[in-house]
Amino acid sequence: MNDMGPLAIVTIVLLLVAVLVGAAITFRRNRRSAGLKGRYRAEYSRTVARAGDTHKAERQLREREKQVAAFDIHPLVPAQRHDFIDHWLDVQALFVIDPAGAVARADVLLTDVMLARGYPMAQFEQRYEYLSVDHGEVVAHYRTAHAIAESHARGEVRTEELRQAMIHYRTLFDDLVNEPVDDTPVIAHRDGRIHDLRREAIRRD
């Protein structure tokens, strides 16, 4: 170091600073990416594949978060929760005699739950993106069920596929009517019986 001139010393210092800054930026970016992957799960990979670029996809996901943060998203009050559970049980009962009608009503019911929780009215893709922010683990069920419903409208699915759509819808419904920290099953008393939406099978006579 004693043999180096001032210019050489300054150059080395600047290089070290550049390396440290680069390392800090990379660390921050990797940590932010890990956070997004953990939050969105499969939706992260889907967004990256659709965007064709990781950085572009992550910008889109962060933009979703900003949009949802501006909404007044809140849990259901007990009365709303019980009403929606009763409606869902009606939908499940309808499946026995009208599978297609039950699937259509399930889709509408989920939209109603979203509105009650503070999500704005929007087209399916926008609703899906809003849900993905706080329901990344289960939001893929929504897309799958919706796709089956649309295929049925074109006459392309059978009753078994409608049954799968109901199961997908039920998974998201269960998540939406529960508090995020509430791991207990969604239950409701009706006609003296207890319905456990996580266990009740959908059967068609």
**Geometric angle at alpha carbon 164, from 93 and 202, rounded to 5°:** 30
- Which amino acid, residue 182? D
Residue 148 carries which DSSP code?
H
pTM above 0.75, yes or no: no
Which is higher by pLDDT, 163 or 25? 163
Confidence at 32, pLDDT banded by 50, 70, 90: low
For the stretch 141-169, pLDDT in tens is: 999 999 999 898 888 888 899 999 999 99
User: Which among 76, 63, 186, 81 has a CA at the least distance from the CA of 133?
Assistant: 63
Torsional sign, CA 60, 65, 70, 71? positive
Six-digit token string for 89: 């049980």
CA of 79: how far to CAs of 85, 128, 188, in Å? Answer: 10, 26, 11
